Structure 1
């Protein structure tokens, strides 16, 4: 690990275990702010007054050295207002630790979809701001940074919120470089069911349009205040996206809007955002816009196109994807749900086990 880090020649800092123990009060349980497949996350305070979040790689973690190094290598090379900042790392006494800026309002998932006691009142302008911020962060990753990166795991748990509710994309352990001479990357499938684009989930066909699809799903969650993967087998709709498409056919898309917003929202802006989300989640990758185009549409500098109906063959792929999802859900394969500050709600071809906790299940609807 030390040799690998030296080869990376990172611009981030290196911290001693003693420093981090002092900052977190020796990883006191009272400072624990999250837990997932990667391991626990603690808040801390350095002696100079800097507030931090420390992600600790657990010995039982499903993610290993590869994801740890990938996270450091990717995020340390990136600087953007809508990407979480990595201060550095610590590798000492068999401890693998990542040190981030502290985000006061935890994750978008907890603020919007978590247990009621953790939810925040997110009015329509705030939801718009969060959506635009995520889009800007992705546009930077795909089109503006010197490294062209596909995140692969965009979802509400991987969007963190600062004290002013500005969003920052986190968890780059699964991110992939999108090299310009490749039209796509054939790779093992890694991500989260319910957010993965069908062409990637089924065939391992990865381009930046996979992130665009995931962004579309998150946008629907922001508008509706519902979790895309919360569904009952008794319901006709498989997930939130299905419901949105059904409402579109009925001409009743405003039924998607989170009841918690009441009447206090701009209907034109809401309809525009829903149209953008449906465009981003089209089953045909070529139909999905670039993230820079999404930013322009969200900011009103371009008009959101109407959803272009996909070919029947593409629609069939969605049905097949549902069958794959349902099969894995029923056989307890490859699906997990995590809390904030984690990169663990992920699926890979290595078949990570289920991690559905009772607190989440009781609050997911």
Structure 2
């Protein structure tokens, strides 16, 4: 901007000096001719400088507005871990309510609410937002069990029709992070879909993916849910506290949707708009493929995918992720 102002000032000074010199000169005809020539040369230059200045100010204003919009969206969405609430309602970490007896309608209501919140971030907000750290502890519940997505410290926005981006620094939480993000640093709306699928399986089963190890098969929650599904034993995954009173059709459908969301390839995972539609309808669901990070935890031989990534989490700073 200083360069533009300097050029404008220099052009105006040159014009003024030349016009003054012309007035003090001897030959009026030549003076007038020179004045006209100089004006013809300098006026377009001054116009270009003014246009450049206007364009610069416009672009700077747009950049400020974009940053302000992003800040407004994140501040509106973020619940600050219950410290400041617009609704002035007490909020509870979904992890703290996991061991309480939540009947199936409440659990299904929570799943639906999270799905609609993600749909808003991915599609309906002014900027497309990828949360990047979606997990149970970042889902807050009010006293009516309405879920609210919180903690947007790692969130990123992508412009226009973009749905993915790449980073050299992988951040997130072990147990919820998607394979393509952990391995290649590629995050997208489908990364959030993967995390959502993990939470669905956690809510239905009452178990956490991180730290879960089936005593017989030594599988994590995703591997256990997948094995039960392909063997036709998905009802065994439903939490004991709700197995007798739950809507079995909705629970089994939720498990299948969760498995669709945690498929290894992001191309196979549904979008959040499709997830919301599947949760609210009785249409036939596609068959899920093997989930990402499907592991057994005692003597798995790492084949093609063995990596070490720095994971930004409250509980760990380094973990080895294995997939087969």
1:206/1:321 CA distance change after superposition, 3 Å: farther
**Distance in 2 of aligned mates of 1:321 and 1:190:** 22
Query: Is the contact between residue 260 and residue 287 of structure 2 (CA under 8 Å) also seen in structure 1?
Result: yes
Change (3 A) 1:233 1:308: closer
Note the alpha carbon deviations across 1:12-38, whole angstroms, 9 max, x for none. Answer: 9xxxxxxxxxxxxxxxxxxxxxxxxxx
Does 2:112 match 1:132? yes
Shift of the alpha carbon at 1:334?
4.1
Aligned to 1:152: 132
Deviation at 1:206, TM superposition (A): 1.0
Query: 1:45-60 to 2 correspondence within 5 Å?
Result: none
Q: Measured at CA, do residues 315 and 129 of structure 1 come closer, stay the same or move farther in structure 2, by a change above 3 Å? A: closer
Say whether the 8 Å CA contact 2:254–2:279 is kept in structure 1: yes
Secondary structure at the aligned position of 2:92 is classed as: coil
Asked whether the 8 Å contact 1:8–1:73 carries over to 2, the reply is no
Work out whether 1:258 is the aligned partner of 2:244. no
> Does the 8 Å contact 1:197/1:213 carry over to 2?
yes
Structure 1's 158 and 322: CA in aligned 2 closer, same or farther, altered over 3 A? farther
* 3-state SS, counterpart of residue 160 of structure 1: strand
Partners of 1:228 and 1:315 in 2: CA distance: 11
Deviations 1:261-302 (A, max 9, x none): 140011111111011000000001111111111111111264
Contact 1:103–1:161 under 8 Å retained in 2: no
The 2-side partners of 1:135 and 1:123 are apart by 19
Matched residue of 1:304: which SS? coil
How large is the Cα RMSD of the aligned pairs?
3.5
The answer to whether residue 95 in structure 2 is matched with residue 109 in structure 1 is: yes
| CA-to-aligned-CA distance 1:80-130 (integer Å, 9 cap, x gap) | xxx4557xxxxxxxxxxx744455241111110xxxxxx432100000000
Give the structure 2 partner of residue 186 of structure 1.
166
Q: Mapping of 1:277-316 within 5 angstroms?
A: 277-300=258-281, 302-308=283-289
Match of 2:200 among 219, 222, 235: 219
8 Å Cα contact 1:74-1:172 kept in structure 2? no
SS in 2 for 1:260: coil
Instruction: Report deviation, 1:319.
Output: 5.7
Evaluate the alpha carbon distance shift between residue 237 and residue 353 of structure 1 in structure 2; reply closer, same or farther with a 3 A threshold: closer
Partner residue in 2 for 1:204: 185
Higher relative contact order (CA 8 A, sep 6+): 1
Check whether the contact 1:195–1:213 (CA below 8 A) recurs between aligned residues.
Answer: yes
- CA 1:235/1:137 → structure 2, altered by over 3 Å: closer, same or farther? same
Query: Structure 1 322/239 Cα, relative in aligned 2: closer, same or farther at 3 Å?
Result: farther
CA distance in 1, matches of 2:160, 2:66: 23
Instruction: Assess, with a 3 A threshold, how the Cα gap between structure 1 residues 149 and 166 changes in structure 2: closer, same or farther.
Output: same
What is the Cα deviation at residue 323 of structure 1?
4.3
> How far off its partner does 1:238 sit?
3.8
- Name the CA shift for 1:322/1:233 in 2 (closer, same or farther; >3 Å): farther
Identify if the C-alpha distance between structure 1 residues 84 and 246 changes in structure 2 by more than 3 Å, giving closer, same or farther: same
| Structure 1 unaligned regions, length at least 5 | 1-6, 13-69, 87-97, 113-118, 337-343, 355-365
Q: Deviations over 1:308-331 (max 9, x none)?
A: 468xx9989x9669844xx67xxx
State the aligned residue count: 249
Question: TM-score normalized by structure 2?
Answer: 0.67
Q: List runs of 5+ in structure 2 lacking aligned partners.
A: 1-63, 296-300, 320-324
Determine helix, strand or coil for the equivalent of 1:134.
Answer: helix
